[in-house]
Amino acid sequence: MRWGRAMHKEDKTMKTQLLKVSEESIALGGRLIREGELVGFPTETVYGLGANALDADAVTRIFEAKGRPQDNPLITHVSCVEEIPALVRAIPDAARKLMDAFWPGPMTLILPKADCIPRAVSAGLDTVGIRLPSDANARALIAAAGRPIAAPSANRSGRPSPTTAQHVLEDMDGRIPLILDGGPCQVGVESSVIDATGEVPVILRPGGITPEMVERVLGHVRVDEHVMSPLKEGDIARSPGMKYKHYAPKAKTVIFSGAPENVVAAICARYDEQTAKGERVAILGLDEHNYGGRTFISLGSEKRPQEAAARLFAALRELDERGDTVALCEAVDTSGIGLAVMNRMGRAAAFDIETV
Ligand code: TXA
Ligand code: MG
């Protein structure tokens, strides 16, 4: 059976199967990828929307299903390092060190691309993002396909990234033939994107591989200035993804930063003021803080920063489900994985951060 050949951008007529990962479902996924179709699949970071990375038509379908701007390139996923030399022109020393230290794992390296990578994947750039995921099911799917898999996060463009198969279904039902359900993602924020084309690698998007971890391996680290600030007019985005509004819930989202007691007091005051105006308000914060019965969505414990990473996207989706119109968020500490959490939260709030 051929699915979706004639599918138009806004048609949602395809039947979407949601299958638990198993030998059979992964084999089916591999076959669909080979036939040029799209498959939603788990990784350790977020769910991906995969297609054969070497098939320009299949890759074009990803952009249609997501509603993604054409100039935002895709990451190419491999199942083992041996697959990489065919996809890139060079692997600089620093990149090699990062590969040895952090792969398989939540890191994407930007490298000079080989000619076999279609323009649709690289969005016209001379580089390609390569990622070797640690999730065994993700690697099994790539191996079953027998081809590298180009995959963005499996959300509709602008929505929070999916960290469960159910989130993928919410966004992709009727648009893709298959979603593989491997349970909730472990890391919960997307991979660290590191530009490794130059002598000094630069973190373009923070993620599970933190600046501290990179520094331990290379002795130094650079983080792009736009990780914690919006692009201004005239600024050049080293990573096209920086340009776009991302992860945004429908609620007006504001972040409060400062000493915890100030943050809690400021959030309570704003909550009461907005509620009195008829807004539907929710607080995103850490379990240690007491909001006296006001609507609260937990980002976990301050003692375990990885919980905020694992929960943030689900929390942003919950705001939409509940119909909240205002979201008040506690800033988290930006060390370690906290930088990735603040980057995503910052973008959800269009970097509306109040220091209190
Ligand atoms: O964890 C992840 O990376 C997930 C899973 C599915 O692997 N994928 C993911 O893909 O987050 P996506 O498309 O949602 O985000 C890819 C980011 C975008 O911001 C894009 O602009 C950037 O990586 N990117 C991709 N190729 C690039 C390149 N050649 N140069 C600079 N930035 C690139
Ligand atoms: Mg994405």
Question: Looking at residue 145, which CATH number applies to its domain?
Answer: 3.90.870.10
Q: pTM for the full model?
A: 0.95
Same domain (yes/no): 210, 75 = yes
Residue having the nearest C-alpha atom to atom 18 of ligand 1 = 241
Looking at the DSSP bridge assignments, the partners of residue 5 are none
Cα-to-centroid distance, 190 and ligand 2 (Å): 7
Q: Strands 192-195, 202-205: parallel, antiparallel or unpaired by DSSP? A: antiparallel
Same domain (yes/no): 28, 61 = yes
Same domain (yes/no): 314, 200 = no
Residue having the nearest C-alpha atom to atom 30 of ligand 1 = 239
- Of the residues 43, 157, 190, which should be mutated to test ligand 1's pocket, given the most ligand atoms within 8 Å of the CB? 190
CA distances from 340 to 63, 113, 130, 192 (A): 25, 26, 19, 8
Whether 321 maps to a domain, the answer reads yes
Q: pLDDT value at position 2?
A: 42
**48-52 β-sheet, strand order:** 17-20, 178-181, 39-41, 48-52, 149-150, 75-77, 127-131, 107-112, 192-195, 202-205, 222-223
Whether 247 maps to a domain, the answer reads no
Spatial contact of 6 and 124, defined as CB atoms under 8 Å apart: no
Same domain (yes/no): 129, 206 = yes
- Of the residues 45, 47, 66, 75, which should be mutated to test ligand 1's pocket, given the most ligand atoms within 8 Å of the CB? 75
Whether 245 maps to a domain, the answer reads no
| 333 φ/ψ angles, rounded to the nearest 5 degrees | -60, 135
Whether 8 maps to a domain, the answer reads no
Q: pLDDT value at position 11?
A: 57
Same domain (yes/no): 70, 195 = yes
Q: pLDDT value at position 245?
A: 67
Whether 87 maps to a domain, the answer reads yes
Q: pLDDT value at position 232?
A: 77
Whether 95 maps to a domain, the answer reads yes
- CB neighbourhood size of 330 (10 A): 23
Domain that holds residue 256: 252-355
Residue having the nearest C-alpha atom to atom 19 of ligand 1 = 241
Domains identified in the chain, total number: 2
Which residues of the chain are under the pLDDT cut of 50?
1-8
DSSP conformation class of 246: -
**Which ligand is located closest to the Cα atom of residue 247?**
2
